[in-house]
Amino acid sequence: MISDRAPANGRQSVLSAPPRPVRAAATLGGRLNDHLERQLAAARRLLACVLEQGQAIRDRAVDRTVEAAAAIRNEVAARERLEEERALLLAEAGRELGVLPEQVTLERICALLPATEADQARRLSTELRGILAEISREHHTNRVLLRQELAFLEHLLRLAAGPQGAAYRPDGDPVAPAPTVQTVIDRRA
């Protein structure tokens, strides 16, 4: 049997010492910061894919543009798994705070954490928001560039088709060209 009393020599036995709290990465703050770091890594990979796609569009490199689109799709799928993890963290924090998961904010979670973990969570969250904003801007730019390239391609196809040639619908099926009307205006009168 393990005694709760200190030995006669005044030192406490290792066996009778009260258990010390174990501080592991399994705490809410540790899991939150690990999750935010994984979110950041995923966001950086996604940003690299979006930037590569933009460069490929500018270079009119079709193969690279398609490869970048596939890489973006893969990164989005990976982020979906991170979002599931995020939902679990919010549900746990909501239970701790006594609120619904959709009412959980970073500041509310930080109120539960030691100052160092809360500061790290705020820093990681700020960095993540910045990268996500950059991804959004670059993705929008890529969409505009791609629309311009497709409009130019459509213009070239119509020119190549000539007045008797076939034009193509977005689904790839040929359609009869619209009749061309030539108007001559005599402005000398």
C-alpha–C-alpha distance, residues 16 and 185, integer Å: 106
Q: Are 72 and 79 in contact (CB under 8 A)?
A: no
Token output for 188: 């000398």
Q: Report how far apart, in Å, the C-alpha atoms of 169 and of each of 18, 25, 60, 147, 177 are.
A: 77, 56, 22, 15, 11
Handedness of CA 54, 55, 58, 59 (dihedral sign): negative
Token output for 64: 């690279």
For residue 31, the tally of other CB atoms under 10 A from its CB is 17
Confidence at residue 182, expressed as pLDDT on a 0 to 100 scale: 59
Domains located in the chain, CATH noted: 28-175 (1.20.58)
Q: What is the mean pLDDT of each run of 10 residues along the chain (189 residues)?
A: 41 38 61 95 96 93 92 92 93 92 93 94 97 95 88 76 61 60 58
Token output for 180: 């061309």
Q: What is the DSSP letter of 167?
A: E
Alpha helices in the chain (DSSP H): 28-58, 62-97, 106-110, 115-161
What's the chain's length in residues? 189
For residue 154, the tally of other CB atoms under 10 A from its CB is 13
For residue 139, the tally of other CB atoms under 10 A from its CB is 17
Q: Report how far apart, in Å, the C-alpha atoms of 71 and of each of 46, 47, 48, 90 are.
A: 8, 11, 10, 28
Confidence at residue 126, expressed as pLDDT on a 0 to 100 scale: 97
Confidence at residue 14, expressed as pLDDT on a 0 to 100 scale: 37
C-alpha–C-alpha distance, residues 107 and 26, integer Å: 20
Confidence at residue 20, expressed as pLDDT on a 0 to 100 scale: 35
